[in-house]
Structures are given as structure tokens and as C-alpha cells.
């Protein structure tokens, strides 16, 4: 089986997949020897910031000399990005070998009426990869929610819940309290939990859930935040005192809060035997971490996967600080099942004009419909469905001294990022 055939096989389960709580995951992993039970892991949930927090954790642990696994979703350009070994996407040959190994089990389960979903299959592959690669520790990002997410069969050393907001309401509930309870579902007896910055109503729900399990709660916080267009410096308030003048290379004020959550998890891991973690190597890691598609600069084009209300709020704060409206062209594409009215209302006043594109996915809102949504908010908008043509149009509108901000669906971010990396000056960017 080739890499391309393996990825095609993974995607092939999408039409028939049927989620049944955690039943599918437990059945498949039991047949494969429950590799997840032999792994040291960190489990990270949240509405926004969990991917960046995972990236910071992985980078810090690698800097400390540990062999790491990292499982995140969705991918930006290529499926292999979801499963990383020591910071590098899983090799295509190894991915193909894993698919060949687990496929007979998938078929056996299907014959018994257990139809695994594509995300469940990806999670199985990640657990198997990390076990076979003998990682010292794996960072596992929740896909959606927490309580019933396929990743929630693990017993982590520490759980992390980053900022919780309104998203995926058709799955998780239509109130912030309901959504918070779903995220709290990753908490486990005997496992400390780190809470990133939360609205007070969310914090109350999470603290109550932790109290019922009688587990330790860490709430690291930031102060003296100093943001530039390309980095953030801050002090972190930890249980043992304050760590001053930390710099994180990920862009945006919100990344200080994500970094604090990562620091909280690292402090628990150090207490649990990962004693090679030091302040010095953590500082180096935070200053060097990279995470594609999150306020990522490609010359005068910026990519940001803000695709829900909390993410757009964070993006708008960055725009207000560093991107003058008259010199900013917004290139965007959105999913039709998102709160498009809310997001267009926030973004429309902050750009000189908008180019609406249409990512190559059935859930995408039509470019013309999205352009009309922006026009209803008073913006001048152009509908250019094809992402390549949309990027060209946005660059023309921005001119030589303007900035193109590509924001919205990560599917669009991935398509635009691939196009940018084909250009000579960005060819070596990974």
C-alpha cells in the first residue's frame, strides 16, 4: 500500500462511519492490544487555543530531550501532519504500514455492526504510531467536545482545558454551561487538570466538575503582557511563584494565555518525573515554537484559522493593534454551519474590502452568498470562488504596500498555504 492509497483508505470510511459514544474506539483498541494504555500522555481540550497549547507543550518537551508524539486536528495541508513524531509529520511509508496493520480489525468490527468514523480511525493510527515509535510522552488534542471524543479513552498524566466558547452547538449544546460540561468530560479521577483563562461562568462549571472528582486544579495566569506584531512577552503566575519575561513566538495576545496553560501542564509533568524540564529549556522552546495557519506571515500575506466567534474576537484584537483598516484586504471562506452573521459583523469594519472564496468542501458557504453577508455589514466585497484566483485578486486589491489577511476556515487556509509555499521565496517553509 502506498501513502496515497493509505490516505484514500482512511477517507473511505467517512460515508459509512457511525459514532456510538466510545464503543468503537474501545472495541478497536482492545483488538489491537490497547496501545494507548502503555503511553504517557497529556490530554488537551478547549474551544480555541488547544492546538497552539499542544504545539507549545510538544516543543518544550522536545527541547527538554524527550521523544514526543503529537496528535492534532484538522490538518492544514497534508493528512500526515495530524500525527507527528518529534515534531515531524509521520512518514508516508509508516502511515501506509499502520493502515495495513489496523485495516483487518476495522473490517472485523464493521461485520459486527461497529462502523468506525474517519476521526476514530485517525485516533487509532495515532495511538499505534506513538506506541511503535516508543515516544516518551504524547500530546493528544481533543477533536470535538471532550466527554465523547474518540481520544477520551486515555488515562493522561495531566488534563488541560483551554478557553471555552460557543462553537459546535449542534453537537455540544446551545448554552456555554452545556459546552463547558462536555469539555470537563476529559477530567479523570487522580489526574490534575490545568485550566486556561475562562469566562467566570465557564470557570465555575469546570471547578465544580473538578471538585466532584476531588482532583487538583491549576490555574496559571499571565500579567504584564507586552505584544508586538510578531511576538508576545509576559510574566506567568504559577503556584510556586512568577516566571518573568517569557516570550512566545506565536502571534497574538491570546497566545500568552495558551502559553500559561502549557506551563501549568509542564509543571505537573515535572512533578510526575519529567525532571529534565527546566525554566531555561522551556524559555527556548516558547521562543521558537511554530504552528501553521495561526497568524502566520508569508511576506505581506497573513494566514489565520479563526473560524468561530472566540477565534474571530482574538483575530480582531490583533487587527485593531497591528493591521490598519485602509491597508488590509480580507480574504476569507467560511463553513455554512458556522455563525456567519456574527463573524462578518466583527470582521467587516476592520478591512478596506473583502474577497470571498469557497474552500473545496461541501460544507463551505458559496462565495457569492458570503460576499452578500459582508455587504449586509457595510463592506465592499468581491466573490471569487477559486482560492488561487481569490488570492490573486486580494493581492491586486492590497497593492504593493497593503496586507492580505486570509482568515476563516482552516480548509481555505490549507489551500492558500499550499499555493504560497509553491512560490519561490516560501518554498522551504514547512
> What is the C-alpha separation between 144 and 267, in angstroms, rounded?
26
Going by pLDDT thresholds of 50, 70 and 90, the confidence category of residue 169 is low
323, 185: one domain: no
313, 200: one domain: no
Peptide bond into 112 cis (omega under 30): no
216, 358: one domain: no
Domain boundary among 220, 236, 251: 220
User: What CATH number does the domain containing 128 carry?
Assistant: 3.40.1190.10
Residue 422 has pLDDT above 90, yes or no: yes
Query: How many residues would you count in the chain?
Result: 430
CA torsion sign for 188, 194, 199, 204 is positive
Express as a percent the part of the chain with pLDDT over 70: 99
Distance of CA 330 to the CA centre of its chain: 22
Which is more confident, 14 or 354?
A: 354
Which is more confident, 365 or 362?
A: 365
274: in domain: no
CA torsion sign for 321, 327, 333, 334 is positive
Please give the pLDDT value at position 240: 84
8, 103: one domain: yes
Please give the pLDDT value at position 166: 72
Q: Which of 285, 346, 271 is nearest to 314 (CA)?
A: 346
Q: Residue written as cell 467587516?
A: 348
209, 332: one domain: no
323, 174: one domain: no
185 close to 151: Cβ distance less than 8 angstroms: no
Residue 265 has pLDDT above 90, yes or no: yes
- Mean per-residue pLDDT of the chain: 95
Please give the pLDDT value at position 159: 98
Mean pLDDT of 220-236: 96
Number of domains in the chain: 2
> What is the C-alpha separation between 161 and 28, in angstroms, rounded?
27
212, 337: one domain: no
Burial 104-138 (b: 16+ CB within 10 A, else e): ebbeebeeeebbbbebbbbbbbbbbbbbebebbbb
Domain boundary among 220, 255, 281: 220
Please give the pLDDT value at position 430: 82
89: in domain: yes
Please give the pLDDT value at position 168: 58
**Residues facing residue 159 across a β-bridge:** 43, 193
Express as a percent the part of the chain with pLDDT over 90: 90
Going by pLDDT thresholds of 50, 70 and 90, the confidence category of residue 122 is very high
> Which residues span the domain enclosing 83?
3-220
79: in domain: yes
251: in domain: no
149: in domain: yes
Residue 98 has pLDDT above 70, yes or no: yes
345, 196: one domain: no
417: in domain: yes
Instruction: State the cell numbers at 50.
Output: 488547544
> What is the C-alpha separation between 307 and 304, in angstroms, rounded?
9
Please give the pLDDT value at position 428: 83
310 close to 302: Cβ distance less than 8 angstroms: no
170 close to 335: Cβ distance less than 8 angstroms: no
User: What CATH number does the domain containing 342 carry?
Assistant: 3.90.190.20
233: in domain: no
Mean pLDDT of 59-74: 97
Query: How does pLDDT run across 366-400, given as a tens digit for each residue?
Result: 999 999 999 999 999 999 999 999 999 999 999 99
From the CB of residue 417, how many other CB atoms can be counted at a distance below 10 Å?
22
Domain boundary among 163, 189, 220: 220
68, 202: one domain: yes
60, 154: one domain: yes
Mean pLDDT of 117-137: 98
Please give the pLDDT value at position 190: 96
Residue 298 has pLDDT above 90, yes or no: yes
63, 173: one domain: yes
Mean pLDDT of 223-252: 95
Going by pLDDT thresholds of 50, 70 and 90, the confidence category of residue 73 is very high
Pairing type for strands 241-248 and 381-383 reads unpaired
Q: Which of 250, 20, 7, 51 is nearest to 140 (CA)?
A: 51
Task: Dump strand ranges (E) for 323-377.
Answer: 328-333, 353-356
272: in domain: no
Distance of CA 376 to the CA centre of its chain: 31
> What is the C-alpha separation between 64 and 284, in angstroms, rounded?
10
DSSP string of 228-247?
Answer: -SS-EEEEEEETTEEEEEEE
Residue 351, phi-psi category: left (phi > 0), alpha (psi -120 to 50), beta (remainder)? beta
74, 200: one domain: yes
What are the strands of the beta sheet with 83-85, ordered from one edge? 88-89, 83-85, 68-71, 137-141, 41-45, 158-161, 193-195, 217-218
Residue 26 has pLDDT above 70, yes or no: yes
Mean pLDDT of 130-159: 97
Going by pLDDT thresholds of 50, 70 and 90, the confidence category of residue 97 is very high
Query: How does pLDDT run across 305-346, given as a tens digit for each residue?
Result: 998 888 999 999 999 999 999 999 999 999 998 889 999 999
Please give the pLDDT value at position 171: 67
DSSP string of 365-401?
Answer: PPHHHHHHHHHHTT--EEE--SHHHHHHHHHHHH-TT
> What is the C-alpha separation between 176 and 169, in angstroms, rounded?
9
Amino acid at each position: 500500500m502506498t501513502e496515497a492509497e493509505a490516505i484514500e483508505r482512511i477517507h473511505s470510511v467517512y460515508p459509512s462511519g457511525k459514532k456510538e459514544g466510545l464503543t468503537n474506539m474501545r472495541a478497536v483498541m482492545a483488538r489491537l492490544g490497547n496501545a494507548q494504555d502503555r503511553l504517557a500522555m497529556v490530554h488537551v481540550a478547549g474551544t480555541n487555543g488547544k492546538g497552539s497549547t499542544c504545539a507549545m507543550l510538544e516543543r518544550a518537551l522536545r527541547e527538554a530531550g524527550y521523544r514526543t508524539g503529537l496528535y492534532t486536528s484538522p490538518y492544514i495541508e497534508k493528512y500526515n501532519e495530524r500525527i507527528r513524531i518529534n515534531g515531524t509529520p509521520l512518514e508516508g511509508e509508516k502511515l501506509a504500514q499502520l493502515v495495513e496493520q489496523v485495516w483487518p480489525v476495522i473490517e472485523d468490527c464493521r461485520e459486527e455492526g461497529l462502523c468506525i468514523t474517519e476521526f476514530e480511525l485517525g485516533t487509532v493510527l495515532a495511538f499505534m504510531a506513538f506506541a511503535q515509535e516508543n515516544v516518551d510522552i504524547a500530546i493528544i488534542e481533543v477533536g470535538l467536545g471532550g466527554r465523547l471524543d474518540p481520544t477520551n479513552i486515555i488515562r493522561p498524566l495531566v488534563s488541560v482545558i483551554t478557553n471555552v466558547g460557543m462553537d459546535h452547538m449542534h453537537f455540544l449544546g446551545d448554552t456555554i454551561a452545556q459546552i463547558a460540561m462536555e469539555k470537563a468530560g476529559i477530567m479523570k479521577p487522580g489526574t490534575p487538570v490545568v485550566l486556561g483563562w475562562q469566562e467566570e461562568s465557564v470557570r465555575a462549571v469546570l471547578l465544580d466538575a473538578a471538585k466532584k472528582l476531588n482532583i487538583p486544579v491549576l490555574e496559571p495566569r499571565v500579567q504584564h503582557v507586552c505584544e508586538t506584531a510578531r511576538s508576545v512577552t509576559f510574566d506567568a503566575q504559577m503556584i510556586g511563584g512568577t516566571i518573568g519575561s517569557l516570550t512566545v513566538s506565536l502571534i497574538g495576545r491570546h497566545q500568552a494565555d495558551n502559553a500559561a496553560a502549557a506551563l501549568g501542564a509542564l509543571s505537573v509533568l515535572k512533578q510526575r518525573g519529567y525532571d529534565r524540564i527546566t525554566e531555561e529549556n522551556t524559555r527556548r522552546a516558547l521562543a521558537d515554537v511554530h504552528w501553521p495557519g495561526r497568524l502566520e506571515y508569508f511576506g505581506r500575506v497573513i494566514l489565520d484559522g479563526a473560524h468561530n466567534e472566540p477565534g474571530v474576537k482574538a483575530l480582531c484584537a490583533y487587527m485593531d493593534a497591528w493591521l490598519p483598516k485602509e491597508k488590509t484586504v480580507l480574504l476569507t471562506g467560511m463553513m455554512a454551519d458556522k455563525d456567519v452573521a456574527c463573524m462578518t459583523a466583527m470582521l467587516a469594519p476592520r478591512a478596506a474590502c473583502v474577497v470571498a472564496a469557497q474552500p473545496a468542501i461541501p460544507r463551505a458557504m458559496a462565495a457569492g452568498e458570503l460576499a452578500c453577508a459582508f455587504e449586509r455589514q457595510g463592506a465592499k466585497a468581491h466573490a471569487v470562488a477559486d482560492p488561487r484566483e481569490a488570492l490573486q485578486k486580494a493581492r491586486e486589491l492590497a497593492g504593493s504596500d497593503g496586507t492580505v489577511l486570509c482568515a476563516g476556515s482552516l480548509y481555505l487556509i490549507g489551500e492558500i498555504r499550499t499555493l504560497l509555499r509553491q512560490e519561490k521565496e516560501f518554498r522551504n517553509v514547512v
